[in-house]
Structure 1
Amino acid sequence: MIREIITYPNKLLRTKSKDVEVFNEELHTLLDDMYETMISAKGVGLAAIQVAVPLNILIINIPNEEDIQDKNELIEAINPKITHKDGVQVYQEGCLSVPGYYEDITRANHIIVEYFNRFGEKQVMETEGFLAVAWQHEMEHLEGHVFIENLSFTKRQKFEKEWKRKLKEKK
């Protein structure tokens, strides 16, 4: 089922998500819904809070060389924690909760993440580049943050002004 993606400045996006304690059918349904929602919105990652569920759950599905998002490559991460990060990279990011806005964001280039899969089995992933960016972006959502908070003061002010104007035009 495709769920509604909440957008900035919805206050729910500022909610710190809670750890998942039960790995059951309800969790599997949420993960399946999140995948359908992310694919229909043409995203590469989605945190549960973006569909108004404040749990430490995220999914990532990076397109392959043919620009296809292979479901076999889907990462479903429950209660993820970054245990190591180093290096620096700048990547132009966008967000399904801030549609139509893109900006260069500085992140760690190399990370190691520990998490659980949908069956409660512990996983460890070491990655770099775009996948590391996606992990860090989605994990910020779990902490109640949106990528625009990484902007400089001036860029953030400009964004807020443009965003408010855009929201008024929609009404």
Structure 2
Amino acid sequence: MARQQIVIYGDEVLREMCTPVKEITPKLREFIEEMFVTLRRVKGVGLSAPQVGVTERFFILDLEAVELEHDKVVMINPEILSTSGEQCGEEGCLSFPGLFVEVARANEVVCRYTDLEGKQKVVRAEGLFARAIQHETDHLNGVLFIDHIDPVEREMLSGKLKKIKVS
């Protein structure tokens, strides 16, 4: 399989609403495995399908680096059922190389998803795990982490965003 490239801010695919995965095929499994290779190569925590050019509803998390009880997580057709609390913390995104901003998110989420074996699961996540689920689910809805920051702050970042943006 060809080496996956991370889609950079400015590419229209990052603003598209992704379609549900209808079937977990061997091709999808292979693609997801390659996503984990890509994620490790760039030393990231999460990677959504649109970040590698695919407009389907799935993402991966590799939380081993942050020492949570879940390490490799695949969420297909995720749906956040509820949120509670609030956390504010620095977030980055592989599609925005070198950009880190403070983003407010729910501290806890309950998320229903299908795993790679086709089983429906519900997970209650908090802290960084919850932040990662929200960030990656946003990607599937065409929402970017910069959409969560104050418009004045986003305007102050406009120079950095122009440097990152793909024309």
With the shorter chain as reference, the TM-score category is: over 0.9
Cα pair 1:38 1:46 within 8 Å, conserved: yes
Aligned twin of 1:98: 96
Q: Is 2:146 the counterpart of 1:148?
A: yes
Q: Distance in 1 between matches of 2:158 and 2:143?
A: 15
Residue type at the aligned position of 2:110? I
TM-score (norm 2): 0.92
Residue type at the aligned position of 1:49? P
Residue type at the aligned position of 1:40? R
Q: Distance in 1 between matches of 2:157 and 2:30?
A: 35
1:167 deviates by: 4.6
Deviation sequence 1:108-141 (CA, Å, 0-9, x none): 0011111001121111111100100000000000
Superposition RMSD in Å: 2.1
Cα pair 1:13 1:49 within 8 Å, conserved: yes
TM-score (norm 1): 0.90
Q: Is 2:138 the counterpart of 1:137?
A: no
Cα pair 1:18 1:55 within 8 Å, conserved: yes
Q: Tell me, what secondary structure is at the counterpart of 1:99? A: coil
Aligned twin of 2:74: 76
Equivalent residues, number: 166
Aligned twin of 2:105: 107
Aligned twin of 1:28: 29
Cα pair 1:61 1:69 within 8 Å, conserved: no
Q: Is 2:20 the counterpart of 1:19?
A: yes
Q: Tell me, what secondary structure is at the counterpart of 2:139? A: helix
Q: Tell me the percent identity.
A: 33
Greater RCO between the two (CA within 8 Å, min separation 6)?
A: 2
Gapped regions of structure 1 (runs ≥ 5) = none
